[in-house]
A and B are shown apart, each in its own frame.
Chain A
Amino acid sequence: MINDKTNNGGSFVSARMNLTFNYAAGEAASRFLVALRDENKIYGTRCPSCSRLLVPARSFCPRCFVDTTDWIEVGPAGTLVAFTLDRSLQCHAGAGKEESDPGVRNCLGLIRFDGADTSLVHHIGEFDVDTLRIGMLVAPVFIKERNGSILDIAYFKPVEADNARSI
């Protein structure tokens, strides 16, 4: 084994990549995003083989490799099944969101809708750090100017069970 503590005598050169990519969503994800944009609705698709309801909607089941069939509306409220709220995340740059937005605390969650067999990842906002817990009911807060993106939902926020339908 070598020990390479030799003085290298090198420095470094910085270079930036500034590139824009335009990804085709495909028919299924486009339909999901259009429903989100135009109808405030969240859809899943069902696998005819394993019967799982996959959310967000997609064209095929990754486990059974068959086309999904039925489109089924879920939510809007769902159950928080995991979330990131770690002290180290306070200084973790990344998640493309405004640090200044008081509703967002670098918190991402997994949300399981009734009837769905998979969870949706999204931001969690407008919460009280001390009371946020797994099992809580959360509902989407939509932005005003929609453009057909998963970010047409700003975040999910905790709600009382009674209010879940009124968001």
Chain B
Amino acid sequence: MRRVAIIGTGQTKHAKSHDDVNQAELVRQAATRALADAGITYLDVDAIVLSNMELFEGRALPEMWVGEGASGYLKPVMKIATGGTSGTSACIAGFHQCASGLFDTVLVVGWEKHSEGATQTGMALTDPLWDRNIASGAVGNFALSISQYMAERGVTPEQAAKVAVKARRNAAKNPHAHLQMPDITVDRVLSSRMLADPVHLLDMCPQSDGACALVYAAEDRAESLCARPAWVRATVTRHDQPYIGDLDRRLLTMRTLRDAARKAYQQVGITDPLNQIDVAEIYEPVSYAELAWYEALGLCADGEAGKLIDNGSTEMDGVLPVNPSGGVLSANPVGASGVIRVAEAAMQIMVRAGAHQVANVRTALATGYGVYAWSDVIILSVDK
């Protein structure tokens, strides 16, 4: 396999609504910034991978129109869609395209404009023979799994609220983040509107308009263009069964993330993830999920996630800062969210994260989450 690295990233401001640009123009903002960050032009791009949840905006083959915003004219453009993991799936597809030897420079762009659609209804367009009869939305479904998780692991609403506070305080240092609430407190999270017991409004991710792009380059090119490229060291995908009721205690087991992380760690030689990984950008659609992902990722033993947030291990100054960007809890343009995780992890390696930069990052972890329990795990490193 030839070595491949990320050499540039670009994002729009993620916001409740972007009226000044249409979808193609939104994508162009992110793509243009990523190309500039990589120090290349659109002419250097050999292939393009796009990610978007087409039914959220009611589109059929959205790449036809929006692809032009990624400089797709007469270029190989491929649109990837795997639910919430679309962004990380697109990042993995783009990595494979570059590593295959067919293309030397590959641009990945994810986007979503939730303000244009009916996301909640779009999301509920699941199996018409089954799920549509018992729709309770992403919040309701999470709340169900969280009730099991709390009962078995003893995690408290306060601990979950600390995750929500950490995310928004980090986001205050990230100019791209949608939610800007630097003064947020645990009390404010716990006193925010109850959506579905025990999930409060501020425990959940927002719905955002936004796009994120990144540029892959093959070994020689990466080294000539970038002083400190973010090398892709491991990519692992695990999908799971289609119905929520198929998954045995899904947040407790999260077998896809457990297995994907274990395999990725093996490939890179990580045996003690909490200490060997320097920063993590994980896809946490709800505060409680981050705690569950700590356990599945092996950052702590099962049942210890609450302690990890209590003792500050995952804060910006902790042993393993998790989501310095503010995470999905602070910005969630779904088709872009997975790309943002990977781009933010790369920015940390490349030392381009600005005010939310973590010191001395050599190894970074990014994850994608989607459907009921699908996972992608990606590990980037300063070392080839």
Q: Give the interface of A toward B (CB within 8 A).
A: 13, 15, 17, 19-29, 59-60, 62-63, 65
Bound-state CA distance A21–B128 (Å) is 21
The segment from B97-105, B118-126, B333-341 found at the interface with A is B118-126
Can you list 30 A-B contacts with CB-CB less than 8 angstroms, sorted by A residue number? A15-B132, A19-B117, A19-B121, A19-B122, A20-B118, A21-B57, A21-B58, A21-B116, A21-B117, A21-B118, A22-B115, A22-B116, A23-B22, A23-B23, A23-B116, A24-B19, A24-B20, A24-B22, A24-B113, A24-B115, A26-B20, A26-B21, A26-B22, A59-B25, A60-B25, A60-B68, A62-B73, A65-B42, A65-B71, A65-B73
Give B14 Cβ to nearest chain A Cβ, in Å.
15
Give A20 Cβ to nearest chain B Cβ, in Å.
7
* Residue contact B117 to A26, C-beta cutoff 8 Å: no
> Which of A13, A19, A24, A63 lies in contact with B21, CB distance below 8 A?
A24
Bound-state CA distance A134–B62 (Å) is 31
Give B352 Cβ to nearest chain A Cβ, in Å.
23
Give B57 Cβ to nearest chain A Cβ, in Å.
6
Bound-state CA distance A144–B128 (Å) is 43
Whether a CB of chain A sits under 8 angstroms from the CB of B356 is no
Contacts of A59 in B (CB 8 A): 25
Give B22 Cβ to nearest chain A Cβ, in Å.
4
Bound-state CA distance A6–B383 (Å) is 56
Give A63 Cβ to nearest chain B Cβ, in Å.
5
Whether a CB of chain A sits under 8 angstroms from the CB of B33 is no
* Residue contact B28 to A60, C-beta cutoff 8 Å: yes
Q: Which residue on chain B has the smallest CB distance to residue A26? A: B22
Give A16 Cβ to nearest chain B Cβ, in Å.
10
Contacts of A29 in B (CB 8 A): 22
> Which of A20, A24, A65 lies in contact with B18, CB distance below 8 A?
A24
Bound-state CA distance A59–B71 (Å) is 13
Contacts of A19 in B (CB 8 A): 58, 117-118, 121-122
Whether a CB of chain A sits under 8 angstroms from the CB of B129 is yes
Q: Which residue on chain A has the smallest CB distance to residue B68? A: A62
Q: Give the interface of B toward A (CB within 8 A).
A: 17-23, 25, 28, 42, 57-58, 68-69, 71, 73, 113, 115-118, 121-122, 125, 128-129, 132
Contacts of B118 in A (CB 8 A): 19-21
Give B34 Cβ to nearest chain A Cβ, in Å.
13
Bound-state CA distance A95–B25 (Å) is 26
Give B8 Cβ to nearest chain A Cβ, in Å.
16
Q: Which residue on chain B has the smallest CB distance to residue A22? A: B116
Q: Which residue on chain B has the smallest CB distance to residue A18? A: B121
* Residue contact B121 to A25, C-beta cutoff 8 Å: no
Contacts of B129 in A (CB 8 A): 13
* Residue contact A15 to B121, C-beta cutoff 8 Å: no
* Residue contact B128 to A13, C-beta cutoff 8 Å: yes
Bound-state CA distance A117–B227 (Å) is 43
Give B64 Cβ to nearest chain A Cβ, in Å.
12
* Max chain A C-beta neighbours (<10 A), residue from B25, B69, B122, B125: B25
* Residue contact B73 to A63, C-beta cutoff 8 Å: yes
Give A19 Cβ to nearest chain B Cβ, in Å.
5
Contacts of A23 in B (CB 8 A): 22-23, 57, 116
Contacts of B73 in A (CB 8 A): 62-63, 65
Give B156 Cβ to nearest chain A Cβ, in Å.
39
Give A167 Cβ to nearest chain B Cβ, in Å.
29
Q: Which residue on chain A has the smallest CB distance to residue B41? A: A65
Q: Which residue on chain B has the smallest CB distance to residue A63? A: B73
Give A40 Cβ to nearest chain B Cβ, in Å.
24
Bound-state CA distance A27–B24 (Å) is 12
Given contacts A15-B128, A15-B132, contact A27 B21 (CB under 8 A): yes
Given contact pairs A13-B128, A26-B22, enumerate 11 new A-B contacts (beta carbons under 8 Å): A19-B58, A19-B118, A19-B121, A20-B118, A21-B117, A21-B118, A24-B115, A27-B20, A29-B22, A60-B68, A62-B73
